Amino acid sequence: MSANPIYLAIDTPNLEAAQSLIGKAGPHVGGIKFGLEYFCALGHDGVRRAASGLPVFLDLKLHDIPNTVAGAVRAVAPLQPAILNVHAAGGGAMMRAAREAAADAAGDGPRMRIIAVTVLTSLDDADLDAIGQRGPAGDQVKRLAGLAQASGLDGVVCGPLEVAALRAQCGSDFLLVVPGIRPVGASLDDQKRVMGPAEAIAAGADHLVIGRPINAAPDPAAAARAIAEQLAR
C-alpha cells in the first residue's frame, strides 16, 4: 500500500477518459479505484491498460451465493488487485468464501485484501427503513462491520461519519476504506454522509476514495495535489 491514502475513483466506461484522468491525477494519489461501470464496460484489459502501476481497488461489491462469489474472486485474481470488496449483507458464509478464495489464488504471493461494504453512503436512516433494514445507519454499519471482522475479512468500506466508532470497535489493524469524501466547498452530489479528507484521516480512516472532487474539477491534477498536500501537513 502507498503512504498516500487517496484512491482515485474511476467510474467512466471510457478507457481514453480514464487514462487521461489517471495521467493527470495519478502522480498525486496512492491508488486507483475502478468501479462497476468501468469494469463492466472494459473488464480485465481496461484495468491493465489504465492502472499505470498504481495499487488497484476493484470496487465490484460482490453479493451472491458463496460459491459464485468465490469464483468471482478467483476470476479477478490475475489482476492482482490490492483490494476487492464484497457486500457484508451477503452474510458470513459468503464473506468467508471470498476470503478463502483470495488466499488460495495468492499462493505464495501477495494476497488481495477482501473488505466488505457496510451501508452505502448514498443511504440514510429513512432509506434503511424503506428497505427493511434496522437503523440508524451508524448502528447497521457497526453490526455489519462486526460480522465482516468475525468472518475474517481485512476491513470494510464505511461512510466517514462511522470511522471513529469502527476504529474503536474493530481495532487498529482493521482496514477502513472511506468514500463520501468532500473537500470544503465541493458539491455533495448524491452523497448523504460526507466528511472532509483531513477530518476522515484524523478520525481513523486508512484510505479515502475520492472521485468527483478530483475528476470533475477543471484541473484534476491540481485538485488531487491540493488534497494530498493537505493530508501531508
More confident residue, 156 or 122: 156
Look at residue 198 and tell me whether its pLDDT is greater than 70. Answer: yes
Percent of the chain with pLDDT over 70: 94
C-alpha closest to that of 111 among 67, 144, 76, 137: 76
Note the pLDDT tens digit of each residue in 28-74.
Answer: 999 999 999 999 999 999 999 999 999 999 999 999 999 999 999 99
Residues taking part in catalysis: 61
Q: What is the pTM of this model?
A: 0.91
Q: Specify the length of the chain in residues.
A: 233
Domains of the chain are 6-232 (3.20.20.70)
Look at residue 154 and tell me whether its pLDDT is greater than 70. Answer: yes
Q: What is the pLDDT of residue 124?
A: 84
Note the pLDDT tens digit of each residue in 114-131.
Answer: 999 998 878 888 998 998
Q: CA 233 to CA 221: how far, in whole Å?
A: 19
C-alpha cell at 95: 464473506
Q: CA 232 to CA 132: how far, in whole Å?
A: 42
CB count within 10 Å of CB 120 equals 18
Q: What is the pLDDT of residue 183?
A: 66
Look at residue 155 and tell me whether its pLDDT is greater than 50. Answer: yes
